[in-house]
Amino acid sequence: MRTLAEYPPEGWEAELLSSHTVGSPWAKWKAYRRARKELIRRCRSAEERPDVVHLHTAADWSWRRKARFLSYAQKQNMACVVHVHSGKFDSWLGLPSSRRSKSIRRHLSHDKTRTAVLTDEWKNRLGEHFENIVSVSNPLDPTIINTQKQRDKVHLLLMGRNDPVKGHAFAIQVAKAMKTTHPDLQLTMTGANQDSESWIHAKGWVTDSEKRHLLETASILLLPSKHEGQPMVVIEALGSGLPVLAHEHLHSLPLQVTTAEPSVAAWCAQLSKMIESPQEIVFSPGKHDISNVQQRWVATYRSCLQD
């Protein structure tokens, strides 16, 4: 979202309005209220009224918050884009005949509203529920490049929020098993805040500069997630020249990603190969290139405004 806001299409201006924060339920409620109040203020202002309201949503409570923003913007007859990036949105919806699917379909059927997903596979999956879906990939921040720095020899990295779906516990199991054959192994995890071993580094939240340093110096990025839409960290890792190992059940991953069955033994076997025979990552952004993404969004925005 930040990359999209920092690099809007030529001739457009963009500003990011966050409706979520990390913290207590009360802190999250206040963040939502502040964002909604600011959106209403801008929509009522002749000088600051946006041409398009671009909403990013996951499933469950994320959608419940964004649905309120969407309803207000639609009542103001504004052009809206609902950008779905959840890796479990289809399972959360249930069947196309479900009450939830019908409810969201009504929200998205407004003439000046478009639904966007990250990949063509997600477009096909959600096509059973919604019409007129566009597919636009996540953009790679153009400042992320392969610096060719010397990487740590056996340094595993997991980057994700502190949520069971991201697989921190599984990564620790794999790392402990690998430690028996690779005693110098180190594991760094963002999101988590507690270290169970001296060689496990739980970083919690990291700054952009810290993230860049980890992407440039780690040996392998781990992606043991249960669900993913199109993980931004994978695109950034490959752009930095960092190899990636992911669960094989995840889809829409770049061809440069190595996959393994969701078992500790399978992951250890694959990691051993990657460590003992490291390969150089050559990654062309292609559909993730910022100029390609900008062109896709221009077409989508104009489509909303024409109705």
pLDDT value, residue 307: 67
pLDDT value, residue 252: 78
97 contact partners, CB below 8 Å, separation of at least 6: none
pLDDT value, residue 241: 95
Q: Which domains does the chain have, with CATH numbers?
A: 2-138+289-306 (3.40.50.2000), 155-276 (3.40.50.2000)
pLDDT value, residue 300: 95
- Among left, alpha and beta (phi > 0; psi -120 to 50; other), residue 23 is left
User: How confident is the chain (307 residues) per 10-residue block, as mean pLDDT?
Assistant: 91 91 86 94 93 94 93 95 91 95 95 94 92 93 90 94 88 96 96 86 91 95 88 93 94 90 96 93 92 95 88
Cα–Cα distance measured from residue 284 to residue 35, given in angstroms and rounded to the nearest whole number: 36
CB 267 within 8 A of CB 169: no
CB 175 within 8 A of CB 186: no
b or e along 233-259 (b: 16 or more beta carbons within 10 Å of the residue's beta carbon)?
bbbbbbbbbbbbbbbeebebbbeebbb
Cα–Cα distance measured from residue 230 to residue 120, given in angstroms and rounded to the nearest whole number: 11
pTM equals: 0.87
**The Cα angle at residue 89 between residues 85 and 95, in degrees rounded to 5:** 150
Sole residue written with tokens 């169970």: 196
Q: How far is CA 16 from CA 5, 38, 54, 261, 267, in A?
A: 6, 12, 9, 38, 38
